[in-house]
Amino acid sequence: MAKIVGAITTSHVPAIGRAIAKGLQNDPYWKPFFDGFPPVRDWLAKVKPDVVVLVYNDHGLNFFLDKMPTFAVGAAAEYRNADEGWGIPTLPPFRGDPALSWHLIESMVGEDFDLTTCQEMVVDHAFTLPMALCWPDMKWPVRTVPVCVNTVQGPLPSAARCYRAGQAIARAIAAWPGGERVVVMGTGGLSHQLDGERAGFINKDFDLHFMESMATHPSWATQYSTAELVKLAGTQGVELLNWLVARGTLPEKVRKVHANYHIPISNTASGLMVLEPMD
């Protein structure tokens, strides 16, 4: 059967793409952020995944406010990105894994998760930039399965439902008869708010508590309603729901391989973690 070898959670702010394009990795503003990723790449070289299940939220490139699915899963043979207006260069296409995608879709629908199935799908910076941070040569050695979560327009899925969605993904992967090694990636946040009276809001104490809970108490954030999470983490900070889906794919006991936290990047608190199941 397929095996989940670990999870990566990371931020995805568009400014990262421009920094990569301009070669600013050693710029004093960016260096603390980019310095967090060599250990991630070393870990990926060790675990050698075949597939990345990437949990993210779309920012209008594929879905917009008139059509915003709660959960959407890509089932295409290939995924491409396009210019979103941020000046980020488009990247080489990402290989899909239609067979595994359909298995995941059928398994989750069988557990009463209502999914939007995308046989054609474009992916935005929330998908492409984490991939570029993990494989900076942009020669993707993995197939990909996009899982898109609505963190944009209410009503949003609850933290508890997102955690359960991750558990359902884990059961689907465990039931897949192939021998693939799977990494699950959850992208977004951490705390930030880009608009309104609290524009620029960052809650370092909450972020660090949340990151610690990812390793030691994975259901901790599920005690909060969506409104409470917005209050604690900011309007866009609810992207941590993607982290909870990724965390739900792992067993309760995990090993924290690596973590990094840096503020600010484009008025966003940047979190990074690598977790793997206990042996």
Per-residue pLDDT of the chain (279 residues; tens, 9 = 90+): 899 999 999 999 999 999 999 999 999 999 999 999 999 999 999 999 999 999 999 998 899 889 999 999 999 999 999 888 888 889 999 999 999 999 999 999 999 999 999 999 999 999 999 999 999 999 999 999 999 999 999 999 999 999 999 999 999 999 999 899 999 999 998 998 878 888 888 999 999 999 999 999 999 999 999 999 999 999 888 999 999 999 999 999 999 999 999 998 888 999 999 999 996
The active-site residue, picked from 59, 103, 125, 262, is: 125
Cis peptide preceding 250, ω within 30 of 0: no
Report the pLDDT value the prediction gives residue 88, as an integer from 0 to 100.
84
The set of residues, in sequence order, having a beta carbon less than 8 Å from that of 29 and lying 6+ positions away, is none
Residue 61's pLDDT is what?
Answer: 87
Sign of CA dihedral 227, 189, 247, 58: positive
Active site residue 125: yes
Contact 275, 247 (CB under 8 A): yes
Structural domains in the chain, CATH included, are 3-277 (3.40.830.10)
Please give the torsion angle defined by the CA atoms of residues 35, 87, 68 and 241, in that order, rounded to the nearest 10 degrees.
10
Q: Is 139 helix (H, G, I), strand (E, B) or coil?
A: coil
pTM of the model: 0.96
Q: Which of 192, 217, 258, 262 is catalytic?
A: 192
